[in-house]
Structure 1
Amino acid sequence: MRRLFFALCLMFVAGGALAQVILSDDEIALALAHGPWPSEWRPDSSNRVSGLSKAVTLGEALFHDPILSRDGTMSCATCHVPENGFSDGLTRGQGRVALDRNTLSLWNLTQHRWFGWSGDTDNLWAQSMTPILNPREMGHDTESLKVALSSSPHVEAYEALFGRLDQHEGQTIAVNVSKALAAFQETLVTGVTPFDSFRLALENGDVVTAGLYPLAAQRGLRIFVGKGRCAVCHFGPAFTNGEFHDAGVPYFMAGAGVDQGRFGGLTALFASPYTLDGAFSDDPDRTGAWAVRGVQRLPNDFGLFRVPGLRNVALTGPYMHDGSLPDLHAVVRHYNEIDLERMHADGEAILRPLGLSDGEVNDLVSFLESLTEGR
């Protein structure tokens, strides 16, 4: 009955402006399912320095230090720029050479089960290692990384966490550096957004605060959880199911062949020694290893890419794995005008034109913008 009251409630607020909650009972229930935020944090059992303040401090220092690139020209922050939502604002990333995919944001990584656009890692520290050892990105191998770290100002902090650096092999050092980086990245959590304030007001029965949420954003929320079907993939507090879908974006790249997407990611995952089921995990119980043990690589994994979370989404354009959509209006128009229809195994259409009017497109963008802090 409380939710039904919200759906019918009209009220006057300061200055005499009319405020209104226009959601139905069912729509309010769906809105409440996208929270609370922030979610409860738990340390990563596969990373023995997860949550340690000294590891966070070391990880942050390493994140901003170009010693993690072989030629000393770039740091993690070169591509994951804090002011750009820990992305780079480019269509596709730029390492030692131009890369094939858009640079993903680093917000809310603790909410993920798979990492990267294709899920080629199943934990954050392994993902942190990937660009360091990729010859197209930062370009180190394990021995050159050892040399670089050994002559850096980080030796004392490293040894306080992991022991004598000069007694470690290069591979061990690469894993330890990556675990410190992961400890820092775990702290990159988005704050409360206008949507969160609205949702909390609904939950607490605060009709005045709930009514201050803009009507355009409320209408956009109705589309998001309703006929837009956005919440099929972007659900829960982090606004992602963490899995892989066809977003109707071509995976044929001009001059670069085919991006295999999830299919190629699983090939890399199965070949990696750095999974939750591998020897470098610090978790004796191998918590979470069931995912990598059970996942299968299938032909229809071609062209599937991970569903990114939508928190702070207004800061992280351009969008899609190839960076082909410059802004949120372009993203909504892409789904509104798409000429494909893809089917789930059960026959339910998931990718189809939305058929929104221009006003509804603007409303949906208004809702998406409300998932960003300070909007």
Structure 2
Amino acid sequence: MNRLCRIIVAFHLVAAIIAGPAAADVLLTPEEISRTLTHGPWPPAVGPDPSNRVSGNAAAIAFGEQLFHDPDLSRDGSISCATCHVPARGFSEDRPRAMGRVALDRNTPSLMNVGTHRWFGWAGDSDNLWAQSLLPILNADELASDAQSLKTMMADGPYASTYAQLFGPSSDHASETVLVNIAKALAAYKETLITGQTSFDRFRDALELGDMARAADYPESAQRGLQIFLGKGNCAFCHTGPAFTNGEFHDAGVPYFIEPGRVDPGRHGGLKALLESPFTLDGAFTDDPGKRGAWAVRNVRRTHLDFGKFRVPSLRGASRTAPYMHDGSLPDLESVVAHYNTIDMERLHADGEAILMPLNLSDDEVDDLLAFLRSLSDDQPVAD
């Protein structure tokens, strides 16, 4: 926020305090208000994905939604995308680790607001949403399908006409191209999965307008929790911006042992997959002739420090997506706060990344931080 905006916010705050007692219920300082404004507005204005020519296309969105719920996208017709990404649970599921054809190694991440991501998946295996959408289709432990079967599905059956209208006859395409086009339709649908405004957003917007009487409707416990989030807890270091995530990868002190003798390499493995993928923003399947965004995959490098790092999730809608962390090891928000409150520094795996320290919050402070976190999820739940 620039200096003029800071002055305006401070002016509104002082004027509101002078005007009446209701503003006394706004606990934040001008500096805290300034920082709060960086977490909005919401929802964000996000345009079509230039790498996906059907992004924002209404017919592609409807087609993608059909595919998302269709078990015929899997090898034997037994699993759909919605099997794990349950709409009523914020497009996640309530088990610690996803269950495909076998138990998988990671928790099912929410798909809400996925269109705002920079990297995709817990380890950043993809740099775009359509590439990430095709990974579970091909994974032998998930949908276990293959490009040739999907080409046949698009040529003969209820989807043939829709596919042809969007992309041209599938008979004119290589099977790999058909696979990518299906993934692009899925991505067009997923881009529409956006959480609504919450009580935090109404508070934030009132602060921006200088409407302290309206801002005072936001519970004081949530305001105190926000102060901890911005200050003592330093949570905003990683959970930045309107989506409450910096979109990058950090070590949260969660063990990466999957079972004795086997570890989850985290970002280190994700970068290997990314750099070997033909489906990046720098590859032949992007629809963007300028290859915007390709600079990231061109310049990223794997290092030993990437072990044990996982993508920072958004906190929006988090109350509906338990359990938490990449391995689903924390069953509720109380457990998450307790984890950071007493974090064991010896369990941090990334040498040299000294971001986290035990928060040492009192019981009352824990309650306040939880009140704030829940205020990021009190919009209307996603319909099933």
In the TM superposition, what whole-angstrom CA distance separates every residue of 1:9-44 from its partner, at most 9, and x where no partner exists?
79667xxxx970001111111111100111111111
Query: Across the two proteins, how many residue pairs are aligned to each other?
Result: 370
The residue aligned with 1:42 is 47
Distance in 2 separating the partners of 1:191 and 1:241: 20
Does the CA-based 8 Å contact 2:342-2:358 persist in structure 1?
yes
Alignment counterpart, residue 172 of structure 2, candidates 159, 164, 167? 167
Distance in 2 separating the partners of 1:83 and 1:10: 44
Which aligned pairs between 1:64-213 and structure 2 lie closer than 5 A?
64-213=69-218
Which aligned pairs between 1:19-34 and structure 2 lie closer than 5 A?
20-34=25-39
- Look up the SS of the partner of 2:36 in the other structure: helix
- Look up the SS of the partner of 1:330 in the other structure: helix
The residue aligned with 1:267 is 272
Distance in 1 separating the partners of 2:12 and 2:369: 22
Does the CA-based 8 Å contact 1:277-1:289 persist in structure 2?
yes
- Look up the SS of the partner of 1:37 in the other structure: coil
CA 326–6 in structure 1, closer or farther in 2 if over 3 Å, else same: farther
TM-score, reference length from structure 1: 0.94
Q: Within the alignment, does 1:279 sit opposite 2:284 as a pair?
A: yes
The residue aligned with 1:241 is 246
Distance in 2 separating the partners of 1:76 and 1:155: 20
Alignment counterpart, residue 309 of structure 2, candidates 280, 304, 329? 304
Does the CA-based 8 Å contact 1:313-1:371 persist in structure 2?
yes
Shift of 1:166: 2.0
Does the CA-based 8 Å contact 2:200-2:375 persist in structure 1?
yes
Gaps of 5+ in 2: 1-9
Does the CA-based 8 Å contact 1:64-1:75 persist in structure 2?
yes
CA 344–169 in structure 1, closer or farther in 2 if over 3 Å, else same: closer
Distance in 2 separating the partners of 1:9 and 1:198: 20
Distance in 2 separating the partners of 1:185 and 1:9: 47
Corresponding letter in the other structure for 2:313:
P
Distance in 2 separating the partners of 1:336 and 1:162: 51
The residue aligned with 1:329 is 334
CA 343–36 in structure 1, closer or farther in 2 if over 3 Å, else same: farther
The residue aligned with 1:5 is 14
The residue aligned with 1:224 is 229
Which range is displaced more, 144-153 or 328-337?
144-153
Shift of 1:148: 3.1
Distance in 2 separating the partners of 1:7 and 1:361: 30
In the TM superposition, what whole-angstrom CA distance separates every residue of 1:87-145 from its partner, at most 9, and x where no partner exists?
01110001111100000001111211100000000000000000000001100111122
In the TM superposition, what whole-angstrom CA distance separates every residue of 1:246-298 from its partner, at most 9, and x where no partner exists?
00000011247110000000000011000000000011100000000011100
Does the CA-based 8 Å contact 1:102-1:323 persist in structure 2?
yes
Distance in 2 separating the partners of 1:228 and 1:298: 28
TM-score, reference length from structure 2: 0.92
User: Alpha carbon RMSD of aligned pairs, Å?
Assistant: 2.0
Distance in 1 separating the partners of 2:295 and 2:319: 34
Shift of 1:351: 1.0
Does the CA-based 8 Å contact 1:7-1:25 persist in structure 2?
no
Does the CA-based 8 Å contact 1:343-1:350 persist in structure 2?
no
Gaps of 5+ in 1: none
Identity %: 59
Corresponding letter in the other structure for 1:5:
V
In the TM superposition, what whole-angstrom CA distance separates every residue of 1:35-84 from its partner, at most 9, and x where no partner exists?
01111111111101111111111111111111111110111111111100
Corresponding letter in the other structure for 1:155:
A
* Superposed structure 1 runs of 4+ greater than 4 Å apart: 6-13, 341-345
- Look up the SS of the partner of 1:253 in the other structure: strand
Distance in 1 separating the partners of 2:289 and 2:267: 28
